[in-house]
Amino acid sequence: MTEAGRACLESAGRYRDNIVAFLREMIAIPAESGREGARCERVRQEYERLGFDDVFFDRLGNVVARIGQGPLKILMDGHIDCVGVGDPAAWAHDPFQGKLEDGRIWGRGAVDELPAIACMAYGAKILGERSVPDGVTLYLTASVMEESCDGYCLLHLIEKEGIRPDVVVLGEPTDLNVYRGHRGRIEATITTRGKSAHGAHCDLGVNALYKMAPILADIEALHTRLRHDDFLGKGSVVATFIECTSPSLNAVPDSARIYIDRRLTAGETVEQAMNELRSLPHLGDAQVELLMYDEASWRGERARQEKYYPTWVLPENHPLVAGVASAVEAVLGKRPAIARWSFSTNGVASMGRLGIPTVGFAPGLEELAHTTGEWIAVEDLVRATAVYSLIPEFLAGRKEQLIAALA
């Protein structure tokens, strides 16, 4: 731990109760994708109370704060929406209580990824108390609709609101390590058509569900043949949901549809993945389609794009990786692991589509995301806050390297 890291950790410790209270209050406000308004308002209030230079909602509903006005633009992003809770009886703790017990906070969003929003906010507060480096503008975003269409929120901010950062730090859980990429993905459907008939005369019909059965086996076999990458891991494909249409429960279904989750490792493309589905041995006359996302945000802004989310990897020797890792080491006293996520993030837009250098750093275990046992350690909140407060200074010290890497 360096002297600067120790000082930042002490400053973060003084705000421990504020960080905990803010996180618990966010958890207590349900906010699935497209319905984040009340939680966004709570974040806006906190940003304003902390005295940032500018605080506003963009048209999509992202909460944005700005600190400083230098030429090096750093964006720290945490998505504010969460998935649903499923069966409330499956939770040991009320998912919307934000229960504090034995140094841990429990609830939906306690890992994915409300801690980042709280820690980034207070990290920026601590940075402002020291003074933001002259050459830096720091943006904070509490972004919306990530769970339903990861990346669209940052595409909107950059392409429609005109805020284009030079580098991005994501708040998806990394267990206080530094992540530099992940597999991409697509969402697709396969639809079979049949002919309806009364169940008592089923031989007169063509069962769309039966036509789907060998296709499911083809998908299971395809999964075993997909490409492997030493860093990102193996590509994957899985059928996740099935539905059918039928006049009644006593009739042969005349259509069936399965939904496909296809993860793309390095070297795989959306075109390749779709062609693999269209080449399944038993596809026959079934139809394969790439899904479209078309929803309205909580502010009424329309969000529309294909459900394709690019693979991305930032080189390990990039100055953004080095700068964030050095900030972590200054606070924790040890070098963080440099790794990658298994799931997808808003980096599919910033790095995957737009080529903006992106890394991830946050408290929390990735494997707890979307489970009924989400929790975060209070001590990790304090550590993460200290790191976030140092990142802009460490990146400002590498400004020339970053500019060279961006050229």
Burial code (b: 16+ CB inside 10 Å, e: under 16) for 235-250 equals bbbebeeeebebeeee
pLDDT at 122: 98
Sequence-distant (6+) residues with CB within 8 A of 257 are 189, 190, 191, 192, 242, 243, 244
Asked whether the predicted pLDDT for residue 301 surpasses 90, the reply is yes
Provide the token pair at 53: 């230079």
pLDDT of residue 33: 96
pLDDT digits (tens, 9 = 90+) for 80-89: 999 999 999 9
Residue 97: pLDDT band (50, 70, 90) is very high
Q: Are 122 and 20 in contact (CB under 8 A)?
A: no
Kindly report, residue by residue over 219-276, the tens digit of the pLDDT: 999 999 999 999 999 999 999 999 999 999 999 999 999 999 999 999 999 999 999 9
pLDDT tens-digit profile of 39-59? 999 999 999 999 999 999 999
List b or e across 44-59, with b for residues whose CB sees 16 or more CB atoms inside 10 angstroms: bebbeebebeebebbe
Assign 402 a pLDDT band (cuts: 50, 70, 90). confident
CA 153 to CA 22: how far, in whole Å? Answer: 23
> Of 167, 164, 147, which Cα lies nearest the Cα of 155?
164
Sorted by sequence, the CB contacts under 8 Å of residue 38 that are 6+ apart come out as: 29, 31
Residues taking part in catalysis: 81, 146
pLDDT score of 1: 77
Report the distance separating Cα 281 and Cα 71, nearest Å: 55
Give the per-residue SS3 of 226-277: CCEECCCEECEEEEEEEEEECCCCCECCCEEEEEEEEEECCCCCHHHHHHHH
User: What is the reported pTM?
Assistant: 0.94
Averaged pLDDT for residues 124-149: 96
Number of other residues whose CB lies within 10 A of the CB of residue 231: 14
- Closest of 338, 320, 294 to residue 391, by C-alpha: 320
- Which tens digit of pLDDT belongs to each residue from 152-166? 999 999 999 999 999
Q: What's the chain's average pLDDT?
A: 96
- Helix count and strand count (H, E) for the chain: 11, 22
Q: One-letter amino acid identity for 38?
A: A
pLDDT confidence bin for 379, thresholds 50/70/90: very high
DSSP 3-state of 73: strand
Say how far apart CA 121 and CA 123 lie, in whole Å: 5
Q: Quick count: other Cβ atoms within 10 Å of Cβ 63?
A: 26
- For residue 25, the number of C-alpha atoms closer than 13 Å in the C-beta half-sphere is 17
